[in-house]
Structure formats: structure tokens, C-alpha cells
């Protein structure tokens, strides 16, 4: 028997949508139901109904800018995955509130983890334990939270930032019947049969280098590259006019590069003036490479095939909203959802991805064996 079961609903009425989700997930003794939901739904209703529908399990989720389930990808829906009690040897969920002002939120969550485990987080075997992190996508806290997690444990945490259907007004975290903003969720788990993590992005290196020489890191704004105004330096690297650079942002982001297989993408975000705003923090003086896009379907398919599908029981896909928009523009949403074959998979279009830091235009996946 599979330890994971998935469901999806496009019913517009919140109560009826959750009823449909519950009906589809019958037959599994769940310890947790993970779900991703469009802001087109009444969120208080959804999270309360989910908690009531799965009273014996934790219900954990967030809002999105697009949803995906095996074989289908789109907007204005709810997708959910039930995890059986047999799927995890250990599970603990911590809600971090007031993440903008509470700089000790991660440390307090980790103390709670350690109390439950009876041992320090640093002593956990990263081959056995995995973490999931979901963050309010509009607070600009991803870098700090991921850095703090990485400084306190060797257990890998993978996840993404909640969305709000590209409105950029407010994103929500949903935990056991309540909705939160200015918050994050940390899940620590020991999957019974093991796990793997996949980070995939569809870019190749160019020979152009951009060194941030003037940066407002807190606002993710680069004033200068290579000693010139950011947009001018970026335009010169592309060989285009400054006025045209916004047309190239999606196809030519920049990346922090360790090697060709280890690229951490930083995506430009439209902004007036000579500076460039990014969806991810950039550090002054740290060399970046101009990247060139490749085919998302082709690259993702190749990366997924590195893992044997018959060994995977489930996949959680944290997929950048920019990738979602590109796939939508190319009418490839259906084809992307079909890449996962028969493996039960859910995911959502994020406002940033988490894995060894905060990244953009990437898909980070938790693969459960």
C-alpha cells in the first residue's frame, strides 16, 4: 500500500471543496495532510474545514500562485497530500510567528525539536532526517531564516515561499485550522523509507560576469554592477539598450555559481530607475554570472530521471512562479505535470524556493521513498 494519497478540487465553494478533498483521501490513516490553496478561496473557511475533516491529523499548508498535482497544473484550486502514519517515524511541526521582528524564532523552534527528540539538532543524521520550510513570501525574511536553519543543523530543509496569485498583497500560512501571516512553518521529519532532494533550474552559463558594487541588501536592490549603474551594466552584458532590459529578465537572470551543476539563481524584478531589484538577496562584491535559459521541460525531465520512479512513493514540488508563468505562456503546464508519471505529486508556484538558502526560478523537490 502506498503511504501517500493525493487529491485536488476546483469546486468554488470552500466547504464543498474540502468535502471533495476528504472524499478523495478516504482509506488512508493520516498523520498529516499537506495542502496548497489559491487565494481565490475563503482561507478561514478552508483551514477550519480542513482541520475538521482530518481531525486525527495535522493539516499544514499555504497560499499559492498556481497549483500542481500529478497530471494537472493550473490556478484557483486546492491540492492536498495525505501522509500515512506509517510514512514517518518522526514528525514535529513548528509555527514561527512575527518573523520580521522575532530574530530568535528559528532558535526557539529548534529548541522545541530538540526537546521532542532528546538530542541536539546538530547530532541528527542528515541521511535519515529531512526538514520542510514554508515562508511568508512577502516579508523578505527567507535569507535570514534559511541561514539560521543552516547554521544550527546539517539536516537539509527544502521548501518555498507562499504566494497570493501574483497580487503581491498578502500570503498566508495555514496550520491546524488557523491562518497566519508574517509567519513560517518548519517541519522536521524522519521518513520511514528515506528521501532525496532535487534542485533543478533550466539555465546555462554565459561568459558574462556581473559584480555587485553597490547593494541595498535588505531591499534586494543592486545600484551598481561593475562600477556602473545596474541596468546599464546588465544591458551591456546582454548587448541591448537599457530601455529593453525588462524584456530579458526572465530569460537572462543572474546566478551565484559554484559549478555548472550548482547554480543559485537570482531573478530581476521590474522596477523603475537605473537600479535593479531582485527577488532574492545579493551580496556586494560577490561575483555573479549572467545566465541563459534552457527548456524547462527538457531539463526537469532529465533531472527527474536521475531517480528511479519506482522507488519514489511521493514528491512535493516547490516550483517558482516565474517558471509557472513561462510554462503557462508556452502552453506547457499539462506537459510539466505529466513529467511525474504515476508518482503521487503535489506542488505550488512559489515566491521563492528554499534549499541551502533562498533562490529563484528553480524547482526544489522533496522525493519520498
What average pLDDT does range 150-171 have in this prediction?
96
Query: The whole model's pTM is what?
Result: 0.93
pLDDT value of position 311: 84
Q: What is residue 192's DSSP assignment?
A: T
User: What are 291's three cell numbers?
Assistant: 545566465
**In whole angstroms, what is the distance from residue 18 CA to residue 41 CA?**
11
> Read out DSSP for 88-149?
EEEEEEEEEE-TTT-TTHHHHHHHHHHHHHTS-GGGS-TTT-EEEEEE-TTSS-HHHHHHHH
267 contact partners, CB below 8 Å, separation of at least 6: 249, 250, 253, 278, 279, 280, 320, 322, 360, 361
Say if residues 344 and 4 touch (Cβ distance below 8 Å). yes
**Sole residue written with cell 488512508:** 28
Q: pLDDT tens across 263-298, in order?
A: 889 999 888 889 999 988 899 989 999 999 999 999
Q: Give me 134's grid cell.
A: 514554508
pLDDT digit string (tens) for 321-365? 999 999 999 999 999 999 999 999 999 999 999 998 999 999 999
Answer yes or no: is pLDDT of 262 > 90.
Answer: no
User: Half-sphere exposure of residue 143, counting CA atoms within 13 Å on the CB side?
Assistant: 14
- The answer to whether the CB of 321 falls within 8 A of the CB of 285 is no
Torsion, Cα of 111, 115, 153, 360 (10° steps): -60
Which whole number is the average pLDDT over 93-108? Answer: 96
What is the C-alpha separation between 263 and 29, in angstroms, rounded?
40
pLDDT number for residue 1: 56
Running DSSP on this structure, what letter comes out for residue 285? Answer: T
Extents of the domains making up the chain: 4-200+297-368, 204-292
CA distance 354 to 270: 22
| Predicted confidence (pLDDT) per residue in 197-237, tens digit | 999 999 999 999 999 999 998 889 999 999 999 999 999 99
Q: Is the pLDDT of residue 257 over 90?
A: no
pLDDT for residue 271: 85
Amino acid at each position: 500500500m502506498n503511504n501517500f494519497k493525493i487529491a485536488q478540487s476546483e469546486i468554488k465553494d470552500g466547504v464543498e471543496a474540502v468535502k471533495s478533498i476528504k472524499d478523495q483521501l478516504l482509506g488512508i490513516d493520516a498523520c498529516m495532510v499537506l495542502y496548497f490553496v489559491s487565494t481565490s478561496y475563503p482561507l478561514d473557511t478552508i483551514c477550519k474545514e480542513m482541520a475538521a475533516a482530518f481531525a486525527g491529523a495535522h493539516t499544514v499548508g499555504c497560499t499559492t500562485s498556481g497549483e500542481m498535482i500529478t497530471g494537472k497544473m493550473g490556478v484557483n484550486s486546492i491540492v492536498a497530500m495525505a501522509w500515512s502514519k506509517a510514512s514517518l517515524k518522526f514528525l514535529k511541526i513548528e509555527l514561527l510567528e512575527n518573523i520580521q521582528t522575532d530574530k530568535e524564532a528559528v532558535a526557539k523552534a529548534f529548541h522545541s525539536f530538540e526537546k521532542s527528540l532528546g538530542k541536539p539538532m546538530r547530532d541528527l543524521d542528515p541521511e535519515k532526517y529531512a526538514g520542510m520550510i514554508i515562508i511568508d513570501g512577502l516579508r523578505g525574511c527567507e535569507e535570514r531564516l534559511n541561514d539560521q536553519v543552516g547554521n544550527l543543523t546539517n539536516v537539509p530543509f527544502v521548501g518555498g515561499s507562499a504566494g497570493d496569485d501574483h497580487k503581491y498583497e498578502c500570503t498566508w500560512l495555514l496550520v491546524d485550522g488557523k491562518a497566519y501571516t508574517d509567519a513560517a512553518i518548519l517541519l522536521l521529519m524522519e521518513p520511514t523509507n528515506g528521501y532525496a532532494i532535487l534542485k533543478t533550474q533550466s539555465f546555462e552559463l554565459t561568459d558574462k560576469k556581473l559584480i555587485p558594487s553597490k547593494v541595498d541588501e535588505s531591499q534586494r536592490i543592486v545600484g551598481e554592477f561593475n562600477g556602473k549603474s545596474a541596468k546599464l551594466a546588465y544591458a551591456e552584458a546582454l548587448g541591448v539598450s537599457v530601455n529593453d532590459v525588462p524584456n530579458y529578465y526572465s530569460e537572462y537572470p543572474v546566478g551565484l555559481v559554484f559549478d555548472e551543476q550548482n547554480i543559485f539563481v537570482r531573478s530581476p524584478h521590474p522596477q523603475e530607475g537605473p537600479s535593479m531589484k531582485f527577488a532574492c538577496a545579493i551580496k556586494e562584491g560577490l561575483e555573479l554570472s549572467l545566465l541563459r535559459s534552457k527548456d524547462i521541460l527538457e531539463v526537469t525531465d532529465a533531472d527527474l530521471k536521475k531517480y528511479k520512479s519506482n522507488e519514489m512513493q511521493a514528491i512535493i514540488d516547490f516550483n517558482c512562479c516565474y517558471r509557472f508563468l513561462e510554462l503557462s505562456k508556452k502552453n506547457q503546464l499539462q506537459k510539466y505535470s505529466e513529467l511525474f508519471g504515476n508518482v503521487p505529486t503535489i506542488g505550488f508556484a512559489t515566491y521563492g524556493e528554499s534549499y541551502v538558502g533562498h533562490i529563484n526560478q528553480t524547482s526544489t523537490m522533496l522525493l519520498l521513498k
